[in-house]
Amino acid sequence: MANLDDLPIRESLKGRVPYGAPQLHVPVALNVNENTHGIPEVVAMDIITRLAAEVLTINRYPDREFVELRDALAKYLGHDLSREQIWAANGSNEVIQQILQAFGGPGRKALGFGPTYSMYRIISDGTDTEYVDAGRDERYELSVETAVAAIKQHSPDIILLCSPNNPTGTPLSLEVIEAVYSATSGVVVVDEAYAEFAYPDTPSAITLLEGRERLMVSRTMSKAFAFAGARVGYLAADPAVIDALRLVRLPYHLSAFTQAAALAALSHSELMLSAVADIRVQRDRIIAELIEMHLDPYRSDSNFVLFGGVDSPKDVWQQLLESGVLVRDVGIDGTLRVTAGTEAETTQFLDTLREVLKG
């Protein structure tokens, strides 16, 4: 058997490593920010019914423009959005990849503010877009000054703003997004993967779309919506942006099954989001109890918490795993990240961590 180095792979991909959060089967999996609550049975039944109907016409290609799904997503997002302003793909990762394909590429530059979502660099590499990591302020906050200075310094074609930021949980104010938009002639992507977990009066960057044709807001059904396995991400932007993405998407990229399942889930959106309030409570409980353990959690507007003060993250990660609790070592010194699970899972994490720290 050959290995990767024996192949005539593109120069820019040599030595790169793929996305690799461990997929381990453990009783308490709190490592990739999924919604760990199962989906309600009535929704499950409705999905099955719609999938069954699709089987009968599966010899045909699906609606390439997924019109019904775009209508449903527009309705879900509100803000008077219409079908023409909505796009979707197999996860928001694919949406972001399409954006990089259309607006990035050889000779072009994407700018992110790390530590941030690891896929930004991986998708940049895959599309031969140069990726620049501009860093953040104290405690991973991002100020107007820091963001604008990085844009002046690097003149990026694409700016990737993760709001709230993964893996740190840090909220991002609309003020920063507006300043970034004004400071660039490139496109600005606001990744709102965790938007539904934000406090109720937190405005979405969707409110900034009007009159800003280079602004794009991506969302996903993978997190709050408890639909990670179905692979549905989406985007709100000017209709011209959607036209740009049509140039690079593969025909019929959203399968008939994906469209049907997403439509069924969206028709029950309130039910699908019913665990969000409890997840927020568990997140705040994690922060409070970690402080009691003399650890250093960062503020979080999402369904996960990054915490510092861990002397040996690798050892603590391993010991938690041996007790059946999987969290994430995101590679930031002295920290681990944990997803807020159900009340029982969260209790198990906190109790096990207390034991581990006692040594």
Ligand X SMILES: *Cc1c(COP(=O)(O)O)cnc(C)c1O
**Sites of contact with ligand X (CB under 6 A):** 33, 91-93, 117, 162, 166, 191, 193, 220, 222-223, 228, 233
> Which residue blocks in the chain are alpha helix, DSSP H?
41-55, 67-77, 92-103, 119-126, 144-154, 174-183, 239-246, 256-266, 269-272, 276-292, 313-322, 343-358
C-alpha 257/C-alpha 247 separation (Å) is 23
Closest to ligand X by CB, 235 or 350: 235
3-state secondary structure of 124: helix
Measured from the CB of residue 223, what is the shortest distance to ligand X in angstroms? 6
Comparing CB distances to ligand X, the nearer of 194 and 289 is 194
Run of H or E residues at 29: strand 28-29
CB of 91 to ligand X, least distance (A): 3
What residue number has its CB nearest to ligand X?
A: 91
Residue with smaller CB distance to ligand X, 176 or 193 = 193
Q: Smallest distance from the beta carbon of 33 to ligand X, in angstroms?
A: 6
Cβ at position 191, least distance to ligand X in Å: 5
Distance of CA 152 to the CA centre of its chain: 27
- Of residues 186 and 233, the one with the C-beta less far from ligand X: 233
Please provide the distance, in angstroms rounded to a whole number, between the alpha carbons at the two ends of the chain.
44
Tell the smallest beta-carbon distance from residue 94 to ligand X (Å).
7
Closer to ligand X by Cβ: residue 248 or 293: 248
Q: Angle at the Cα of 225 (from 32 to 110), degrees rounded to 5? A: 60
Q: Which residues of 283-303 are buried (b: 16+ CB within 10 A; e: fewer)?
A: bebbbebbeeeebebbebbbb
For the CB of residue 73, give the shortest distance to ligand X in the complex, in Å.
13
Query: Among residues 223 and 352, whose Cβ is nearest to ligand X?
Result: 223
